Chains A and B, each alone.
Chain A
Amino acid sequence: MIWQLDLSILSLIVVCAFATIMVKDLLSAAIIFGAYSFLMCLLWTEMGAVDVAFTEASVGAGVSTVLFIAAVHQTTRRVGFRKSGRGLSKAIGLMAALLTGLVLLIAEMDFPDFASPFSPASLHLSPYYITQTLHDTNVPNIVTSVLADYRGFDTMFETAVIFTAGLAVIAILRRYKKDDRCELPAPYIISEGYPDTIIRFVARQLVPFIQLFALYVVAHGHHSPGGGFQGGVIIGASFILLAISYDTKMIIGLMSERSNILLGNIGVLIYAGIGFLCLLLGANFLDYSVLSKILPATDKVMARSHGMLGIEIGVAIAVMAIVISIYINIISCGKYKNEE
């Protein structure tokens, strides 16, 4: 918590936020948004939130920027002027923002001191998590143990929400019939990559190492910043790298729509399945300590650690499949085959 670094990064973040919404070109706005996400990631590392910074670096600065650029590629870069009523909408927006800001500023006077160890948020429940997590679960990364064990229900529904988002994108964009209301230009050609030797070679060499690193992040989430989400998003990003440097059709051939949805399902199934396994063995839902009955040579504490690893694997599989699926649907606008 170095306050000089804090304030300088915050000022840069405000400049980036202003620039993102004021720029007249959508591609530039998407790229400045990527820079904004990276600065946020730096700020959170400086505040000591390394897991959150890792997730933001992979999800926000990586996949979000690619999704924005893919959407801009399929629509238009142009930002037009509003023909009438421009002053009114700006005035209403400014009024609403200023009023809300004023209310929040009045509430801010009652906030506890910034970064004080005795603020009310740090005094009630979190001392139990900090002191008892090694004794209960033998996992040094407190964030992973709270996410996967103490608050396991939230994470299960979060995985279900990601899966639902993938389904929603398919429901909105996917076209099967020859003619549809959405009037894609005919003949419709899926974006073909420019066959550049250097980019294809380097991408082909790097992708196995990226995937190996992602598996390391998933498996080492108990001892270092990481876990299921970050690892899953990094594998998804490696597939997106292949799709960008080669061809979207190659990725559609590798990870077809059916296998994406199947993998997303399997991820959520692994998570809920481990929970049901605990029910069948006689304890509460998602209470991993009874897994010591079926796992060889583990006691109750190590069984919780292994249960956490199992659900992290489920989360990684689900997130990987859905990230690839959302990207393919946005970049190809729902049509997977070329139309003649």
Chain B
Amino acid sequence: MQSIISDYNYWIYILLMMIGLYAMLAKNNLVKKVIGMSIFQTAIIVFYVSIGAKKHASIPIIAHGPGHDAVEAAIDITHYANPLPHVLMLTAIVVSVGTLGVALAICLGIYRRYHSLEEDEIQEKLQ
């Protein structure tokens, strides 16, 4: 049961990546391709974040405040989720929104020039 749940998670991440890849390759509309790129990026981010997850662990903020004595007590690493993939994926999300802005700007420029967002119509007009 445990291995089925574990494998099921990884299969879903791979399925999401492949949905994104298929949308980037096979769809005709440019904005659909951009959406496929976004799905691909978020699927990879979810895969990385799942590496940092730990069973029965809390968020990676060291418990402080009334009732918690974190400075003197020893910090048990199995109580906190792994923060390193979270840091890398924060950068990835913000860069992905910048990339999305540039991709949509390029789609806008293409539409204004060729009056179409379909790949085959644009290729006809290019020749």
Is there any pair of Cβ atoms, one from A and one from B, under 8 angstroms apart in the complex? yes
B-binding residues in A (CB < 8 A): 1, 3, 6-7, 10-11, 13-14, 17-18, 20-21, 26, 29-30, 33, 36-37, 40, 43-44, 47-52, 55-56, 59-60, 63-64, 67-68, 70-72, 74-76, 79-86, 89-90, 92-94, 96-98, 100-101, 104-105, 108, 111, 113-117, 119, 121-122, 125-127, 129-131, 133-134, 140-143, 146-147, 151, 154-155, 158, 161-162, 164-166, 168-169, 172-173, 181-184, 223-225, 229, 319, 322, 326, 329-330, 333
Cβ of B23: which chain A residues have Cβ within 8 Å of it? 21
Cβ of B118: which chain A residues have Cβ within 8 Å of it? 80, 82
Give Cα A146 to B84, complex, Å. Answer: 8
Q: Given A40-B42, A127-B77, A130-B75: A223 and B95 within 8 A (CB)?
A: no
The answer to whether A223 touches B61 (Cβ under 8 A) is yes
The answer to whether A141 touches B29 (Cβ under 8 A) is no
Give Cα A84 to B60, complex, Å. Answer: 53
Number of A-B residue pairs at CB separation under 8 A:
312
Give Cα A193 to B99, complex, Å. Answer: 28
Closest CB in chain A relative to B112 CB, distance in Å: 4
Cβ of B97: which chain A residues have Cβ within 8 Å of it? 59-60, 63-64, 67
The answer to whether A130 touches B77 (Cβ under 8 A) is yes
Closest CB in chain B relative to A111 CB, distance in Å: 6
Of all chain A residues, the one with the shortest Cβ separation from B111 is: A75
Given contacts A48-B81, A108-B14, A162-B94, 4 further A-B contacts (CB under 8 A): A67-B101, A72-B31, A82-B118, A162-B98
Interface residues of B in 80-95 (CB under 8 A from A): 80-87, 89-91, 93-95
A-binding residues in B (CB < 8 A): 2-3, 5-12, 14-23, 25-29, 31-32, 35-36, 38-39, 42, 45-46, 49-64, 70-71, 74-75, 77-78, 80-87, 89-91, 93-102, 104-109, 111-113, 116-121
The answer to whether B80 touches A130 (Cβ under 8 A) is yes
Closest 9 CB pairs of A and B: A93-B26, A165-B98, A114-B6, A93-B25, A182-B112, A48-B81, A326-B101, A71-B104, A142-B83
Interface SS, B side: helix
Closest CB in chain A relative to B123 CB, distance in Å: 10
Of all chain A residues, the one with the shortest Cβ separation from B14 is: A104
Which of B5, B14, B54, B111 meets A122, CB within 8 Å?
B54
Closest CB in chain B relative to A86 CB, distance in Å: 8
Cβ of A330: which chain B residues have Cβ within 8 Å of it? 101, 104-105, 108
